[in-house]
A and B are shown apart, each in its own frame.
Chain A
């Protein structure tokens, strides 16, 4: 039975076979079983990679791999998509921020999966790179947790990727993350950040970033992992409650549920705006940080300013 209506047993079958459905694709109103959904999702990720020329022959891809659901899905999908090409290699980069009661579980999960998949893994820590773990850094400024963590995590990831000889950094940002970022930057009135394209070399890193999951919803990623028995049931980051993103996530998710397609339209609008404004230096001229040499708008980059304030 290829229908969205349950049969007499209350169960719903895949539109392509007789297996039990695990998800209804809302945009296509189609029920899919675990196998056909995994194939559909993998194909969409492949199309995203291809249409944006994210991966080239000879690439060494540093996969930002926290051990959470998004990076777990990213590593699994990339491993399957690039194994046919011998000249493309993956290296998993795991950043230990030092968050008591949270990060140790995810790092164990990350180590276990990388070993199982036979993928090289590099683990770097805030305490090793910056002299303090995140808990110590945030002692009197918890309300800035996500902002500070994000800056330091990007720096840690970039340093590890450079040391590993990576030519690309792949992150597990999904459609929900992308839509949330668009809305957050719009609410902050930060046009420069709103239209920034981190995949280009003019962004905030030397190594281009790619987001192969940017067209996949958070729900789809969770179902994909759950159906494969890979969903990592891990604790929530204790600092999440301080983040604007948490509030945006909830409101945007409600809008998406009541008005399907909201997130895609938001991201699509941002991409059109980025294209229209291409080449216009909204954030001022790009300089090199006098401390680390990375691109920045002033004389010292945001990361070096933050690190100096912590010492």
Chain B
């Protein structure tokens, strides 16, 4: 699966299916500071991903 971080960097991750929350934890991201979309749809942290999924992590604080 592909994980795209808020800074637009992307990572190809192999391995077992896992929750969105565990991916955020792996990258040291607080789930309260981001929203996550899978296939363009916003999903909760409990959502399970894997295989060919593309997981996009979007930072929600803009400031200003």
Closest Cβ–Cβ distance, residue A230 to chain B (whole Å): 12
Closest Cβ–Cβ distance, residue A179 to chain B (whole Å): 12
What 1/0 mask marks residues of chain A from 67 to 89 whose CB sits below 8 Å from any chain B CB? 01100000000000000000000
* CB within 8 Å of A: which B7-64 residues: 17, 19, 30-33, 35, 37, 41-50, 58, 60-64
Contacting residues, chain A, for B58 (C-beta < 8 A):
222, 226, 231, 233
Chain A interface size range: 35 or more
Q: Which of B33, B42, B45, B48 has the most CB of A within 10 A?
A: B42
Chain B interface size range: 20 to 34
Question: Are B44 and A257 in contact (CB-based, < 8 A)?
Answer: no
Q: Which of B17, B37, B44 has the most CB of A within 10 A?
A: B44
Question: Are A237 and B46 in contact (CB-based, < 8 A)?
Answer: no
Question: Are B63 and A4 in contact (CB-based, < 8 A)?
Answer: no
Interface residues of chain B, those whose CB is within 8 Å of chain A, are 17, 19, 30-33, 35, 37, 41-50, 58, 60-64
Chain A to chain B contacts (Cβ below 8 Å), 24 pairs: A5-B46, A6-B46, A6-B47, A10-B17, A10-B47, A10-B48, A12-B43, A12-B44, A21-B47, A23-B42, A31-B44, A31-B46, A99-B64, A218-B32, A222-B35, A231-B35, A231-B58, A236-B61, A236-B62, A236-B63, A237-B62, A237-B63, A240-B63, A257-B31
